[in-house]
Structure 1
Amino acid sequence: MLQYADDVRTTTRSIPQQATRTIPVAVHSLDPLSRAGVVSFLRQCPEVSLVDENHQGGTGVALLVADAFDETALAGLSRLVRTERTRVVLVLDRIQEPELLNVVSLGVTTILWRREVTRDRLRQAVLTADRGHGDLPPDLLGKLIGCMGRQRAGDGPAPDGGPADFGLLPREADVLRLVADGMDTGEIAVKLLYSERTIKNIIHTVTTRFQLRNRAHAVAYALREGYI
């Protein structure tokens, strides 16, 4: 019996322990104070390995902190989602309904309100995003369900099997319709009362979301799917 116990102990000692995996997390924010606060929380999470914003090491999580989902945040998010195998967590003060659809269409399903950020909430959001799951505040989830209901009720056809479940937003269709009419960025901006930067971001978002090559490809897609 003692010999058997010794054998068990020997066998147990011979099994190498598996190293604990840490999740590479890059924090992106134009506000140094906001970034410092988030980094301070994440340093207390043993599952997290903080990396530089330009980290190219493969699977990981990018955490984008902003006041509102404006043009700057949209441009930053579009850059992040182009990085393969990178999950994104958004930390925001506010977001409007059209922007929420844009965010979800780009594949982001983990959002935190800045007022609710704690170490434990950030940790849970990172773990959730890393697993490919979603985590939305209850009020945003209700808003998203309402958007989906209206979309299905006839606000526009939705493409089958594409990376974006909601199809083109109305303003995206408006922009592509004017591109199809031969207008350049400046003319479209004047027509729709947007800045040229906004027009460029809208087109960039569409081409990224639907994996299109350029403006001509985007127009062809919109025509084929019946948006314009």
Structure 2
Amino acid sequence: MLSVLVADDQDLFRAAFAAILNGQDDMTVVGEAADGAAAVRVAHELRPDVVVMDVRMPAMNGIEATERICAALPSRVLVLTMFDLDEYVYDALRAGASGFLLKDIRRDELAQAVRVVAAGDSLLAPAVTRRLVEDLVRRPSHGVVPRLTARLRQLTAREAETLRLVARGLSNAEIAAALVVTEHTVKTHVSHVLTKLGLRDRVQAVVFAYESGLVAPGSSQE
């Protein structure tokens, strides 16, 4: 049974998310929090498998709360936001969030997202991937960090290509089709990439791909 903490300062959203997740056979909401500081405190007390985290909250925003939780606990964080009002995608991913979705997702998508994150995988809504790239384009360039370039050299050519496709937002099935290999092979490549680069999940892999210069902001996302 998956344990979930729901953190959102809006009572309606918090209650709705809790009701949806409690209605699943394989998960239970063990706690709720109305602000970021409470989310950190309750997460330390209950050590949930997944924290469903809002971004804009009083006392402490969801970005700082995510960073504190990911730095101290094995709990995974799934960020949900209204998105059009938020400019925090990149910061949330760097803080350690394993997923970033919009609050207008369907109830079955929310439950499945919690399962995916709890299983150690990661996910980004397509619109979120686009926003991440747009944010990177807007940021001033300070050149590729040599340390990151050196880490890239640890990858084989096929692993580097897999990382490039992951950064473009392709699923394992789409990468398999592009490389003409099986999905199992793609999963193996992704696993090797994460291990060699010391990354937590696919979300961090996307950030690394752009920061290292493997993928250039503004390049085709098709």
CA distance in structure 1 between the aligned counterparts of 2:87 and 2:143, rounded to whole angstroms? 13
CA distance in structure 1 between the aligned counterparts of 2:86 and 2:79, rounded to whole angstroms? 15
Confirm whether residue 87 of structure 1 aligns to residue 76 of structure 2. yes
Match of 1:107 among 81, 84, 96: 96
Deviation at 1:95, TM superposition (A): 6.0
Q: Which runs of 5+ in 2 are unaligned?
A: 33-41, 149-196, 209-222
Confirm whether residue 62 of structure 1 aligns to residue 51 of structure 2. yes
Question: Secondary structure in 1 aligned to 2:104?
Answer: helix
The residue aligned with 1:121 is 109
Question: Secondary structure in 1 aligned to 2:31?
Answer: coil
Q: Which runs of 5+ in 1 are unaligned?
A: 1-21, 168-228
User: Percent identity of the aligned residues?
Assistant: 18
The residue aligned with 2:16 is 37
Query: 2:4 touches 2:29 (CA, 8 Å); kept in 1?
Result: yes
Deviations 1:27-83 (A, max 9, x none): 111112211111111111111121125254546000113458x96222322332233
Letter in 1 for 2:75: T
- Please give the residue correspondences for 1:63-212 in structure 2 after superposition, counting only pairs within 5 Å: 63-66=52-55, 72-94=61-83, 99-116=88-105, 118-145=106-133, 154-155=142-143, 157=145, 159-160=147-148
Deviation at 1:126, TM superposition (A): 0.3
TM-score, reference length from structure 1: 0.52
Letter in 1 for 2:99: T
Letter in 2 for 1:126: V
CA distance in structure 2 between the aligned counterparts of 1:40 and 1:61, rounded to whole angstroms? 16
Letter in 2 for 1:37: A
Question: Secondary structure in 1 aligned to 2:54?
Answer: strand
Q: For residues 83 and 50 of structure 1, do their structure 2 counterparts lie closer, same or farther at Cα, with a shift above 3 Å needed? A: farther
CA distance in structure 1 between the aligned counterparts of 2:3 and 2:146, rounded to whole angstroms? 35
Letter in 2 for 1:140: V
Deviations 1:96-142 (A, max 9, x none): 786222111122131221122x3201111101111122221111112
CA distance in structure 1 between the aligned counterparts of 2:81 and 2:5, rounded to whole angstroms? 16
The residue aligned with 2:193 is none
Deviation at 1:159, TM superposition (A): 4.8
Query: 1:30 touches 1:66 (CA, 8 Å); kept in 2?
Result: no
